[in-house]
Amino acid sequence: AVLLELAARYDRDDFADRAAQAETICLPIMDFPSMEVHPQFIENRQFVDVKNEPLGEALSFTRSPVDAVSGEVGLRCAPVLGADTSEVLKSLEKPPSLPQSEGQTLNPYRALNGIRVVDFCWVLAGPLGTRLLASFGADVIRVESSRRIDGMRSQSGPDGEPHTDLGGLFNTANAGKRSLTVDLAHPQGRELILDLVSRADVVTNNFRPGALDRMGLGYSTLCAHKPDIVLLNLPGTHPHGPWSQRPTTGNAVMAASGLNQLMGFPHQRPRGYGVAYADFTSPYLLATAVMAALRLRDQGAGGREMNLSQLSATIALLGPEWMQYAKTRQAPERAANRDANACPHGVFPTQGDDEWIALAVEGEEQWRALCALMERPELAAQANFQNHSARKANEDALDATLSAWTSQHDRWTLADRLQSVGIPAAPVENLQDTYERDPQMRHHYQKLRHPLAPDLELPVDREIIRFAGLEHTIQRGPLWGEHNEEIVRDVLGRDEDTYVQWVLDEVLS
């Protein structure tokens, strides 16, 4: 109530600006008309006009969230049907050259063996991206400091108690990595990191723009120690503009992207997603950008610095909605759980306390199948439901009719029955369902044993990228500073006396 009263004194942008001056994480909930004229998006060329030759006009696109890896790459419109057929067929005349394995059986899960990543990322978006690199064989060294501990290290473990090493999110986001604790304010700490960079391939961070420079670890400094280093910056907003130095979280990025504005019910205030969705989409772009840069490096193009804006990455999810707005000048409305191309479409109540089923009917064949399953075949011919347009015009009445039927059934049984007649449907699951009941999720989690709590099992998400017929074992996340001595000795080549002295001097802290 206090915060609502405070916010009511100011307009949206003024409140966000004042919050930023106080170093409070806050970005405004933006809509497309606001984004179009805001200096943050104009300065970073967030929206780009691209000529569509068949249409004879320009269409507005959301910009690529990542800097071009090799020179300036312009956006292109989607191809006309068959436009590239002859070119593609010609390219197939010469078989591609494949790397020679010299008789070895290559394990794709170790494809990044020999790649070392110095990882300054923290919280979720960055660490999830570098975890993907670690899962495929890269040596990812997490650089941590007691001066500012990652918030994920303060979360509760499986027993509900806060713990530096047992938090579920920390172990999920940092599985398979090594931990090096360094005081970067100590001159020897900075030199240690630069020595480590000289033996690495990639440096990653999700700090605000300029943070590495202020630490004395900017790109030019890194290049002086490793000329072909790849530096990937993952700022919350953009490298430039009035928001560039604002602290962010995934939820703040969601607000500023326009995504939250579209989530909710018509004629009600935006509801948002309830989860920092942006933290789970940017990581895959991080891994993709790093891999592209490494490929170019191996082709002789050298290293490079790249900026991957989390805000741009989230806006990119709204490309079709933005293009429609730019063309029609009509901002999209919140549609709740409904969809323009399917009806009925939504989440409906089932038997039990707060239990639901999601379903979507696409086309008349599925609609007739649903009516038959409901034992209400007359609905298919009813004037207000007889085709897609009629159902959309009477969607409230249709949802009420469907809810009365679904509420009489078990969500799991009903989902199977709907699927059996070709209707996309699934029970709405909670975490207990995904962990214990859903057979499709049986192999999603891997239970890890932890040296600090051998009687506890830590369920960790497996990688969603899997190779058929190959098992992949996730390694637990690192203890705080677990690999300090190992890295000092085996990577940096220092002796025991140096390691002990660095501990005594609190360089490793």
Query: pLDDT of 170-189, one tens digit each?
Result: 999 999 999 999 999 999 99
* Residue range(s) in the chain whose domain bears CATH number 3.40.50.10540: 108-318+479-504
For residue 62, give both structure tokens: 């959301």
Find the distance separating the first CA and the last CA of the chain, reported in whole Å.
41
The pLDDT of residue 68 is above 90: no
Can you identify the CATH homologous superfamily of domain 108-318+479-504? Answer: Crotonobetainyl-coa:carnitine coa-transferase; domain 1 (3.40.50.10540)
Each residue's pLDDT tens digit, 122-151: 999 999 999 999 999 999 999 999 999 999
Residues pairing with 345 in the sheet: 360
Token pair 């956006």: residue: 75
Q: Which of 142, 139, 144 is nearest to 200 (CA)?
A: 139
Q: Which residue ranges does the chain devote to CATH 3.30.1540.10?
A: 345-429
> Which pLDDT does position 284 carry in this prediction?
95
DSSP β-ladder status, 425-427 and 356-360: antiparallel
Higher model confidence: residue 156 or residue 422?
Answer: 422
How far are the Cα atoms of 95, 145, 328, 409, 460 from residue 365, in angstroms, in the given order?
44, 60, 32, 23, 41
The predicted model scores a pTM of: 0.94
The CATH fold of domain 345-429: formyl-coa transferase, domain 3 (3.30.1540)
Judged against a pLDDT cut of 90, whether residue 75 lies above it is answered with no
CA atoms of 455 and 382, how far apart (whole Å): 61
Task: Cis check for the bond before 478: say yes or no (omega within 30 of 0).
Answer: no
Rounded-to-integer distance, Cα 503 and Cα 509, Å: 7
DSSP string, 103-171: T----GGGTTTT-EEEE---TTHHHHHHHHHHHTT-EEEEEE-TTS--GGGGSB-TTSSB-TTT-HHHH
Residue 381: its pLDDT value, please? 95
